[in-house]
Structures are given as C-alpha cells and as structure tokens.
Chain A
Amino acid sequence: MIALTLHVWRQDGPNDTGRFETHHMTDIDEDISFLETMDLLNEQIAAAGEIPITFDSDCREGICGACSMVLNGRAHGPGQLRTTCEVRMRQFNDGDEVWVEPFRSRAFPPIKDLMVDRSAFDRIIQSGGYVTVHSGPKPDPNAIPISHPIAEEAMDAAECIGCGACVAACPNSSAMLFTSAKVNHLNLLPQGQPEKISRVLDMVDQMDTEGFGACTNHAECQDVCPKGISIKFISTMNKQYRIAALVEPNERHGRLESQ
C-alpha cells in the first residue's frame, strides 16, 4: 500500500483558464492501475460532495487509444510501450507527488479537465488514409503475394492506436509519427499503390491545416509511443512526399470521387 499526492489539471470548459487541484490518497494497492486509482479518487471526490474529474478511457487494456494523460510531464506516464491505462501503481513510490495533465496541443482543443478533442486525427485519415474499395466480391488474397518482411513492416506501422501521445510529447506538437504510420502502412502494401501519391500529399497537407507543427527530429514521439512506432516511418514519409511533390498534379493517380 502506498500514499500519493496528486495534482490534477481541472478545467471547466474550453474557455476556462484551468488550474491544478491537489488531492491526497492513502492505502493505494500497488497492483491496481493508475486509472483505477483515478476512479477511486473520483469516488472520494463525489463522497465529499465535489465534482469528479473528467477523463477519457474505455478499453483499459491499451488498445483503444482513448486514455490520454500526461503524468509528471510524460505522455502516458512512466515506462515504455504503455498507455495511461496500463500504468500500474507499482511504478510509483510511497509519498510520491504526481502531476496529472491532459495531452496538450493547439490541435487538440480542451473539452473538460483531462479530456481533449482529438478529432483532427480523424480528419487526417479522411484526407487519404484509406484504400478506395467498395464492399463486395474481391480477388483472392493469395493472388497478390506479399512478402513476409513487407507484411511485417506494414503491420509495424499499422499498430498505431491513434492516441495522440506523439503530439503531446513533441515540443512542436507535430503529428508526423501518427501521419507517417498510416501513410507507410498503406503505401508499403500493393493495395495502397494506386493512391500512394495523393495519399501522402493530402495527409501531410491536412496535418498542416489542423495546426500541428513540423518535425525537427527530437524523437520524443517514438519514446512515448505505446506501440513503439519507429521514427524511421517519418523519414520514409518525407522521402515519399518529396517524390510525390515532383509528380505533375494531372498525373497523380489519386482518389476518384464516389460513383
């Protein structure tokens, strides 16, 4: 059992300036998760007649990407290859102080307390992060062999859960790791080839439009990424972008409008 002091970011709404609120907790079981501790804290707050802390979380097993807290200055908290919900209390020592903040970025407007709006990521995908196919009969997958290393590399990129830790950790608030993961996942595969030029151009443009910053190789994103997405994908995306930008617009085999 440990005791902690939690300084939690409270913000009533997007226009509120926000503040830290301090809570003391005792008798925390080291085996429970950090979010279960937050649940307990909320029970404590509700019992005192106050308003509980709002935060996003859902699957609580590190795959949905909903949870999004910065603990002591680190997106998703202590350790590597972890989402906030996977942080266990054994990561902390008795008497520690923990500063709990939301994922901060101009492109992630605050909603309430630790909850932010990450819909910018959806709009980046909308700009080209897909293969244009309708539902219906398709060729047998074994008709298009994909070598094991290519399939594995595409899978390495596809593992991104869209949590936004990369943005929160980046001094420039860049979304390059997120965007490059989707660009590489699809552009590595034969299915992604017909739209690869417009995909990389449109997704990077959308990323800029949303207000994310540029990449200046700090690699903080890779360090906090719960799925270990490599920054090598950023360099391959940059290479693809340069090549794509040289293709005349009328020769870019891109997306067709819906028929």
Chain B
Amino acid sequence: MNLDAHIPAGPVDEKWERHLQHINLVGPNNRPKYDIIVVGTGLAGGSASASLAAQGYNVHCFCYQDSPRRAHSIAAQGGINAAKNYRDDGDTVYRLFYDTQKGGDFRSREANVYRLAQLSRNIIDQATAQGVPFAREYGGMLANRSFGGVLVSRTFYCRGQTGQQLLLGAYQGMQRQIHDGKLKMHPRTELLDVVVIDGRARGIIVRDLVTGEIQSHAADAVVLASGGPGNVYFKSTNAINCNASAVWRAHQRGAGLANPCFVQIHPTCIPVSGSFQCKLTLMSESLRNDGRVWVPKKKDDTRPPSSIPEGERYYYLEERYPTYGNLVPRDVASRNAKLVCDDGLGVLGEGSRAVYLDFKDALAENGRQVIFERYGNLFQMYEEITSESPYETPFRIYPAIHYVMGGLWVDYNLMTNIPGLYAIGEANFSDHGANRLGASSMMQCLADGYFILPQTIGHYLHDIFKDKVTTDHPAFAQHEADVRGRIDTLMGIGGKQTPLALHRKLGETVWEHCGMARNAEGLQQCLKDIAEVREEFWNDLHVPGSADGVNQPLERAGRLADFIELAELMCLDALDRNESCGCHFREEHQTRDGEVIRNDEKYGNVSVWEYKGKGVDHVKHVEPIEYDLLKPITRSYK
C-alpha cells in the first residue's frame, strides 16, 4: 500500500502556497469535459459540489436524504473556529495549529493541520459573503464565543444553529448550480459499491431508495463526503441513518482505513433515559462557556440541586483543571464525568450516570435575555426532552458518541491510496488526531470542500480526460451483480430478528468495551461478541417486504452489515494501539490521577489498515508522523 502523503517541501507555513504554485491545473475550457461524483451533501460534500460545479466541472451528487439540506452537518450547534484574532486576545494561525495539534494529542499530520489553521480565516469570509447570518455585536462587527481546549475567543456562531446556517450556505450554492445545469442531484440514493478499474476510481453503484433500482454511474473522480460511522455504537448523537457503508465499501475495494479506534465522546449530551432509546441528543459544548459542571460531594445525595449549598458541590473540572476549568477538551471532560459517576456521584437517581451543568451564576451575571440570545434553542430543546427548564434547574448531562476522528487515509491532496478516490470531511482521518477540539469539524469540512479539494483535484484530473470510462465497461455490470447478490442474500435469510434489534446488540458491546475506556481483556471480549452478532445477523435476520421500492428495514440491514465489520476493525485497532492518547484511553496506560500516558516512540504514527478479503486478517501499515514544528509534550490542561 502506497502511503506517500505527498507533503510539499519547505517551511510549514509556506507549504500550501508553494504547493498551489506547482500543481497541475485544468483550464476553464476543459473542465466541462470531466465528470466528478460527490457522495454526501453535508458541509464537506455540499461545499465541494458547489465549488467544483462553479468552476465548470460536471458534478453528480448523491445523498440518502430527500434533500441535500438535511445532511447531518445541520445538527452542529455551537460554532466554527477561525484564527481571526478579532478580540485581540493573542490568537494567531500558529496558535490555532498548536491548539488543534495538542488537542489531537499529537497524532495528526502537521502540514495538514497548519493548512487548516491558515484556511480557517477564509471560511468565515466565504460564509458571510453567502449570506450566513453570523451573530453580530451592536457595532455591527462579528461576535465570538470561546470553546473547549483553548484560551482565546475564536468561535463564530449563529445562535445554536451554526451548522444549519453554514450548510444552508453550501446548499444554496448547490441549488444555484443545479439551476444552471452544472450539478445533477440524486437525492434518496445510497452508495452500495465503488468501482475501481485499472487501479483508478471510476464510478459507483447506487440504489435508488424510492424505486429500488440499482444504477451505475461513471466519472473521472469520486469524492466521498459521507461522514463518520458513529452509529456503530447504535446510540449516538448522529442522525439515525448516518452510516459507514460508503467508507467501508471503498475500504473493501482497497482504500486504507486510518486510526479507526479514534472516536470522540461528546461531554454535553442528554443522559440516556427510558427503556427504548435509539438516539442521543447533544447540546452544544458552548454551554460549558457559561455553565459550570458539578456533582454533589456526598454520594446518593437526593436533594434537588437548588437546595445543595455551594460548599457541598464538587466543581470537579474547575478544581482538577484550574487553568482551563469547564473548558477542558472533550475527551478530558467526558472521562472526568465517567470517573465521578463511577465513584457514585451521578445525579439521575440510583446507579445514575449524569452530572449537572449549571447556569445559575451566568444567569445572575448576564440576565436571561443575554443567555437566551446565546443558547435559546438549546435551553428549549432540553426542556422539550426532559420537561425541566434549565433557567430554573441545572442541565443534567452525560457523554455520548459524537464524532469519529479516524477514517479513510488521504494524502495532502485529500486523495486516498486509490488514485481518483478522494475523502473529505469526517470521512477522512487527517486533521484531528486522537481527539477533535470543539468547533473544528465544520472548519475542516469547509476547508476541504471550499478551498482544498477544488484546487488539488485538477492535479489528478489534468492528464486523464482522453481516457474516459463509461458504464458500458464490464466492471460496472460485474459490480452491479455483486450488489444485487448481496441484497438478495439479505432479503432471503428468513430469520426472526430485525436489523434494529441486532444493531442494538452490537452497539451495547462496542460502547461497553471500545468506548470511553478500553482494556485488552474487554476488547477481546468485544471481538467475541461481535462475532456472535455477525453469526446471528447472517442466519437470523428478518427483512420484511421486497427490494423493489422503498424498504427501510433493508436499508438498515445493509448498513448494519458494514457496521459489524467496521466494529471489528475498530476493536483490532484499539487492541493494537497499546498506549493511551486523546480519546483512546487504554486503562493499562494511565497516570496515578487518571491522565493518559502516550508512547510516542512506538505509536507516534498513523495506523492504516488494508482489507485483504472476506475472512482474511487485515494488514496494518504505518505512516510515521513527523514533528518538525511542534515536539510532542505531555498534554496538560491543569
């Protein structure tokens, strides 16, 4: 497997500029000769499709939703980072790079992260020009808030709906291109295979989710922007249809999968309650900006929070991490919530797993109107779900699966190891290392889609247009037959269990053993459990109805089949990475007060897994990480 990252030479702050000066381009007159497939219409896929179509390429865009505007980027709440230094509080490109690299516990590529920090400023400019209504101060200037893991105020926001507004910006750009005929949208369509011909990605096989028709689509390049696989865990903050199928099928066709065990657990979610729940709701981490996290000092304290006096409250983040306080990074905040709950201090009844997030002081200081403008919809959402008003009583929160840092391996141009196959946004692995800081996923998606991919894709395309492939190529018919065979198998198992029931089983074991804390024994157990679920899946699955037309259980079954395989690889990767770093907390490697112990010598690298066929062990490859600008330090937020 060729893992040359193609990082340009030169000092890190000049690499991107130099790269742009030297890569090949496709001229405006030639761009209409190329077809590009984009799978997914979130911030990454939406911004990439709009940008590529505006440049003149023919873009064919696919999403499983009924409209590209519904992709799950829409649910991002709190904000987007940019090193604008509007507050004059010492922010610079270097500091954003530093925060991201340190936040990721030194497991990401310096050149990529530095470029991300540089481009962050352009994103705010771009989005504003599209009409994204960022919050403004009374003088008309852009407002900022701060976010976990940093000491500056660099986060831009649109109330608690920053993701929706940024996505609508990209969506509106796409709609314009659709109107002009440069972009062909295929909603309610799901990718089922990637077609690789002579070592190059040449197209995809999809299923029309309304008619059930299996279709082939050929192109000169394929861009996967299909998001992350957080739903492996069944209960997550992802939308219920988010899936790993595009990523996994690309992996089966030869694309390396990097660091699959790096999974982010978001600290501020609404705790699990009720017996039947398939979705966890996240509330923006920006709440930690003004809210204070605490639990009662006394075990099993049944008093209502308002009658627990100050002296009997344990503000554990403020006490353990005086410098960052409630704004420690997500992995630290999540792990500490788990620790206090393990100690029996949880606040949701017996054996409960929840902590308080209290706005009492912020309300007293700023007044209700200010807090409403900052967080109004989050307060409303919480009240809807729990029937408690956070204006009156503290939020109760607990961590939940939220984002996956691992993903398809890509080089500096965002191309996977299969020429012509690109991965952008959460689908790739490149920028967040072992832990992602808040407000940086949207930054990465939009940097990839607006500014990086549209510039680098020409370098690949410039010399292949004489070598067109159409869907008449026999490889397409063969892939279609594979896909049909697989659907027939799923429909014909004729067992008793629904995909939903099996998915819940899978999620329970992966959350237990490959979640916030992992150890070798638990991971081995998890592998056994996964094998059992696989066995049940292929022998006792029940998919009602027919494959000709809308069949939601069939969609779910196909996704689950891929989740099962991915879950296994996640556990293998977690077992193999015998160190703790960022979110990956191996209990064997911790300090006395529960902080992570990294092993840079042995694991200062990216693990890239190669698929070798059904029932054959994956092969691990390694891309070393070079630390030119920033030597790894022990990550401390004390």
Which A residues lie at the B interface, using CB under 8 A? Answer: 13, 29, 31-32, 36, 39-40, 42-43, 45-47, 49-52, 54, 56-66, 81-82, 86, 88, 90, 111-112, 115, 117-119, 121-122, 125-127, 129-142, 144-148, 151-152, 154-155, 158-159, 161-162, 185-186, 189, 191-192, 255, 257-258
Contact = CB atoms under 8 A, between A and B. Distances in A.
B172 A119 contact: no
Contact of B67 (A36, A51, A122): A122
A15 to B, nearest CB: 12
Nearest to A57: B240
Given A61-B282, A148-B136, 15 more contacts: A29-B276, A32-B276, A32-B277, A52-B545, A118-B66, A119-B66, A125-B175, A130-B131, A131-B129, A131-B172, A133-B130, A135-B450, A138-B128, A141-B134, A154-B131
A258 B47 contact: no
B425 to A, nearest CB: 15
A183 to B, nearest CB: 12
B135 A64 contact: no
10 contacts: A32-B276, A64-B74, A112-B549, A112-B550, A126-B178, A130-B172, A131-B172, A138-B128, A192-B131, A258-B180
B324 interface: no
B2 interface: no
Contact of A39 (B122, B124, B500): B500
Q: Which of A61, A88, A144 has the most CB atoms of chain B within a 10 A radius of its CB?
A: A61
Contact of A135 (B51, B75, B168, B240): B51
B142 A141 contact: yes
B173 A133 contact: yes
A61 B241 contact: no
A178 to B, nearest CB: 12
A114 B235 CA distance: 25
Contacts of B136: 145-148, 151
Interface in B239-253: 239-241
B454 A46 contact: no
B544 A161 contact: no
B75 A191 contact: no
Given A13-B549, A66-B70, A126-B178, A60 B133 contact: no
Contacts of A32: 274-277
Contact of A29 (B122, B159, B241, B275): B275
B168 A46 contact: no
A45 B500 CA distance: 13
Given A32-B274, A141-B142, A148-B140, A129 B172 contact: yes
A63 B281 CA distance: 11
B302 interface: no
B501 interface: yes
A258 B206 CA distance: 30
Contacts of A130: 130-131, 172-173, 175-176
Interface string B93-114: 0000000000000000000000
A191 B124 CA distance: 14
Contacts of B180: 257-258
B133 A155 contact: yes
A158 B168 contact: yes
A36 B276 contact: yes
Q: Which of A88, A111, A142 has the most CB atoms of chain B within a 10 A radius of its CB?
A: A142
Given A52-B552, A58-B72, A137 B544 contact: no
- Chain B: interface residue count, which band? 35 or more
Given A131-B172, A186-B131, A52 B553 contact: yes
A56 B171 CA distance: 20
A119 B140 contact: no
A155 B159 contact: yes
A65 B72 CA distance: 11
Contacts of B164: 63, 159, 161
A161 B168 CA distance: 9
Contacts of A40: 276
Contacts of B276: 29, 32, 36, 39-40
B381 A151 contact: no
A66 B65 contact: yes
A74 B448 CA distance: 42
Given A130-B176, A158-B133, A192-B131, A140 B552 contact: no
Given A32-B274, A133-B130, A138-B122, A65 B69 contact: yes
A173 B500 CA distance: 36
Q: Which of A46, A82, A152 has the most CB atoms of chain B within a 10 A radius of its CB?
A: A46
Contact of A46 (B74, B139, B171, B544): B544
Contacts of A119: 66-67, 187
A117 B141 contact: no
A189 B239 contact: no
B521 interface: no
Contact of A191 (B130, B161, B281, B454): B130
A209 B430 CA distance: 46
A69 B635 CA distance: 49
A158 B240 CA distance: 25
Shortest beta-carbon contacts, A-B, top 5: A145-B140, A130-B172, A141-B128, A138-B125, A135-B51
A137 B142 CA distance: 18
A135 B50 contact: yes
A25 to B, nearest CB: 12
A66 B66 contact: yes
Q: Which of B180, B282, B544 has the most CB atoms of chain A within a 10 A radius of its CB?
A: B544
B54 interface: yes
A137 B20 CA distance: 15
B387 interface: yes
Given A125-B175, A131-B130, A139 B451 contact: no
A31 B273 contact: yes
Interface string B401-440: 0000000000000000000000000000000000000000
A191 B275 CA distance: 49
Nearest to A58: B239
Contacts of B86: 142
Q: Which of A39, A82, A122 has the most CB atoms of chain B within a 10 A radius of its CB?
A: A122
Given A46-B553, A185-B131, A31 B274 contact: yes
B603 to A, nearest CB: 35
B383 to A, nearest CB: 10
Contact of A258 (B54, B122, B131): B54
Contacts of A46: 498, 542, 544, 553
A125 B142 CA distance: 27
Contact of B210 (A90, A111, A185): A111
Contacts of A66: 65-66, 70
Contacts of B130: 130-131, 133, 191
A192 B281 CA distance: 34
Q: Which of B136, B185, B187 has the most CB atoms of chain A within a 10 A radius of its CB?
A: B136
B462 interface: no
A115 B550 CA distance: 10
B211 to A, nearest CB: 10
Contacts of B177: 258
B278 interface: yes
A161 B164 CA distance: 8
Contacts of B65: 58, 64, 66
Contacts of B179: 126-127
Contacts of B182: 258
A185 B501 CA distance: 43
Nearest to B137: A148
B122 A51 contact: no
Contacts of B192: none
Given A60-B240, A137-B122, A258-B180, A88 B278 contact: no
A49 B544 contact: yes
Nearest to A49: B544
Given A112-B550, A131-B172, A141-B142, A63 B161 contact: yes
